[in-house]
Amino acid sequence: MKTLMLKLEPVIWMLFSSGMMIGALLLPVFILVVALGGGFGVVGGEALGFDRMVALATHPIGTLIVLAAMALPLWGGAHHLRHLWIDLGGLKTDGLVGFLCYGTALAGSIVAILAVVRLHS
C-alpha cells in the first residue's frame, strides 16, 4: 500500500493543490456573492433564480467550474487529514489512513461527477 501511495504522490499533490486553490479563490467569492449579495439585495433575485443557475451549471464551462468546486476541495482536505495523521505520530498506519482519506475523496468526486451529469439529463 505504501509503494502505491508513493507512486500516486504526484497525482495526489496535483489534486491537493488544485483543491486548495479552488477552496481559497472560488468558494469565498461564491459565498460572498450568493449569501451576502443576495441577502443584502445587491444581487437581484432574477440573477440567482433556479433557471439561471441551472443554465449556468449546464454550460460546458459552468459544468467544469461546478465539478471543480465540488470535487477538488475534497482532495485538499483528504491530503491535509493524511498529513495531520502523520504529524500526530501515525506513520506506521499511513498506508491505511491514506487509502481511507483518498478513497473517501475519490468516492466524493464520483458522487460530484454523477450529480453534475444528472444536471444534463
**CATH number of the domain where residue 34 is located:** 1.20.1300.10
In terms of residue numbers, what domain contains 48?
Answer: 2-119
Predicted pLDDT at 111:
96
pLDDT tens digits, one per residue of 85-103: 999 988 888 889 989 999 9
Please state the rounded mean pLDDT for residues 20-28: 84
Q: Can you read off the three cell numbers belonging to residue 19? A: 483543491
> CA of 73: how far to CAs of 33, 37, 45, 48, 113, in Å?
19, 23, 28, 23, 14
Predicted pLDDT at 100:
93
What domain count does the chain have? 1
Q: DSSP labels for the chain?
A: -HHHHHHHHHHHHHHHHHHHHHHHHHHHHHHIIIIIIHHTTSS-TTTT-HHHHHHHHHSHHHHHHHHHHHHHHHHHHHHHHHHHHHHTT-GGGHHHHHHHHHHHHHHHHHHHHHHHHHHT-
